[in-house]
Amino acid sequence: MKQLAIVTAVCCLGLACVVKAEAEAEQANTPQYFVAPIETEVQRREISGSASAYAVVNCNAFVVDAQFDPNAFDTTSLMSELRSLAAADADPLKLVVRFHLGVEIKRSTRTEIKNHLKRLCESAGFKSVNAVEMDTSASWDDFYEPLKDWTETESVNESVITNRLVNVYPLGTKLSRIAIGDADCVVEIKPSIDGRQTDLSPELQSTIRRAIESVGPRMKKEKLLFRVNSTAAGRELVEQIFDARRPPMIPEDITDGPLFDFLQSQRKQYQPSPAMKLARELGFETISYVHSPGGGAPEKLIGRPVPHFELDRVSGDRLELNRFLDGRPGLVTFWGVACGPCCQEAPHLTRLHQKYSDRFAIVAVNGYDEASDVVAEFATQNKLDHPIVLGGGEVASKVYLVGAYPTTFFVDREGTVVDYKVGFDSGEELEDRVRELVGEE
């Protein structure tokens, strides 16, 4: 029995060594990182507007027996590519520290790996490294293998087509497909799905068609990715409108019988979702979607008088909304210093206030209930002089039914809410809405 136990133990040890060797061989054959320069309009918009290069690293490859092992990762080729990028443009680098959720890794180990990678990037020549952690349920192989042998065309078009309803852009580079989404084209729908629609409106469909057609014939058309957001009332509608299911396939070797009859009936009952139908008409084989669910119900204010409030300005005096509007069209936006898109929007509000204040009213309500000195410091640093009021958290949630920031309400001359927008896209789009409300061509 003792000899059998020894033999069994040796066999198990041998099997473990074989498995480990196979895993190491697989890791050796599959790059555990990806690096590339940030060059196109889409990449600067979606990945980073300030970084010159991007790197993502499979950090699970550093973990051996639940511990950080710097020697488990062959950094030679990684360092070579990082040095080449840094030599072309040394500042800054966006580093994605990627962890697979299928393996439990302690916080201290994560920190060790992150700091180790930052030091490697700095030693390669990057003056600054913006390191962000990513936790994902997809393994590195599931994530990277489909794009391992990606070949890019000679002339890559990754420009953004934008208007009031959508942003549309092709993903023609390996970097964009890795960092943004594994699809040939992205359609970002700006209006929130808020319960008022159960379909894609004719205007929206027409806009999407024109935008995709303007991209050009060279774009591949295998998968179309929709990006949408919703309010509370629209969450369940998203699946209905953007359902990616295709009709069931009937294998060639099944020509009759119960299974054939069942699949045939399923095919007859199949109804494509509005998004799938549009995509197929445009030549795409399939679709997927990314949903950013929001709360609140800002849509309920459309067509109603803008709710009145009285709140203190940063400067200390009291702002009474109805008196402040004084027959002018305007906008009321709910924001916070801790909100990234809000901070991007703020300078544009000041510019519009300076340009249109005699004809258009702008009020920014701090819905985060941040301290007055925090808001005042932000306003001073960014040279903001549009009206900002404090302590608007309850007004935002209970009166204006805001569920995400920034949320901006547009008001006509009669003081009626005519539209709202969740998020911030561009200063140009914001000014177009202002000009529309003041009656400029």
pLDDT band for position 12 (cuts 50, 70, 90): very low
Task: Say how many residues make up the chain.
Answer: 441
Do both 315 and 419 map to the same domain?
yes
What mean pLDDT do residues 246-250 have?
75
At residue 19, the pLDDT reads 37
Do both 47 and 138 map to the same domain?
yes
Give 241-286 as a DSSP string: HH----PPP--TT--SSHHHHHHHHHHHH----HHHHHHHHTT-SE
Query: Would you say residue 4 lies in a domain?
Result: no
pLDDT band for position 333 (cuts 50, 70, 90): very high
For residues 263 and 49, the model is more confident at: 49
Residue at a domain's end among 94, 118, 147: 147
Query: Would you say residue 2 lies in a domain?
Result: no
How many helices (H) and strands (E) would you count in the chain? 15, 18
Query: Would you say residue 14 lies in a domain?
Result: no
At residue 27, the pLDDT reads 47
Residues 195 and 240: their CA atoms lie apart, in Å, by 12
Residue at a domain's end among 103, 122, 147: 147
What mean pLDDT do residues 246-266 have?
75
Query: Would you say residue 156 lies in a domain?
Result: no
Do both 277 and 316 map to the same domain?
no
Judge whether residue 10 has pLDDT over 50.
no
Query: Would you say residue 304 lies in a domain?
Result: yes
Average pLDDT, the chain: 89
Contact (Cβ atoms closer than 8 angstroms) between residue 393 and residue 370: no
Judge whether residue 15 has pLDDT over 70.
no
What mean pLDDT do residues 329-341 have?
96
Residues 390-394: contacts with CB within 8 Å, 24+ apart?
390/311, 390/312, 390/313, 390/314, 390/366, 391/311, 391/312, 391/366, 392/309, 392/311, 392/334, 392/365, 392/366, 392/367, 393/367, 393/368, 393/369
pLDDT band for position 5 (cuts 50, 70, 90): very low
pTM greater than 0.85 (yes/no): no
At residue 260, the pLDDT reads 73
> Which of 40, 47, 45, 49 shows the shortest CA–CA distance to 157?
40
What mean pLDDT do residues 254-276 have?
79
Percent of the chain's residues with pLDDT above 90: 76
Do both 182 and 287 map to the same domain?
yes
Strand pairing class (63-64; 53-58) = unpaired
Q: Report the CATH number at residue 377.
A: 3.40.30.10
At residue 441, the pLDDT reads 59
At residue 56, the pLDDT reads 97
Q: What is the pLDDT of residues 21-80, one digit of tens each?
A: 444 444 456 899 999 999 999 999 999 989 999 999 999 999 999 999 999 998 999 999
Q: What count of other Cβ atoms lies within 10 Å of the Cβ of residue 335? A: 27
Q: Which domain covers residue 398, as residue numbers?
A: 298-438
Query: Would you say residue 3 lies in a domain?
Result: no
Do both 304 and 427 map to the same domain?
yes
At residue 154, the pLDDT reads 64
At residue 323, the pLDDT reads 96
| Residues ≥6 apart with Cβ < 8 Å to 31 | 77, 144, 148
Q: What is the pLDDT of residues 148-166, one digit of tens each?
A: 888 776 667 899 999 999 9
Judge whether residue 111 has pLDDT over 70.
yes
Q: What is the pLDDT of residues 376-390, one digit of tens each?
A: 999 999 999 999 999
Do both 287 and 354 map to the same domain?
no
For residues 7 and 361, the model is more confident at: 361
Do both 175 and 284 map to the same domain?
yes
Residue at a domain's end among 122, 147, 172: 147
Query: Would you say residue 134 lies in a domain?
Result: yes
Do both 71 and 112 map to the same domain?
yes
As for how many domains the chain has, the answer is: 3
Judge whether residue 20 has pLDDT over 50.
no
Residues 241 and 138: their CA atoms lie apart, in Å, by 26
Secondary structure letter of residue 299 according to DSSP: G
Instruction: Supply the Cα-derived Rg of the chain in whole angstroms.
Output: 27
At residue 22, the pLDDT reads 40
Do both 407 and 429 map to the same domain?
yes
At residue 387, the pLDDT reads 97
Do both 279 and 185 map to the same domain?
yes
Do both 141 and 187 map to the same domain?
no
Q: What is the pLDDT of residues 410-436, one digit of tens each?
A: 999 999 999 999 999 999 999 999 999
Q: What is the pLDDT of residues 289-322, one digit of tens each?
A: 999 998 999 999 999 999 999 999 998 899 999 9
Do both 322 and 404 map to the same domain?
yes
Query: Would you say residue 152 lies in a domain?
Result: no
Both tokens of 19, joined, read: 């498995």
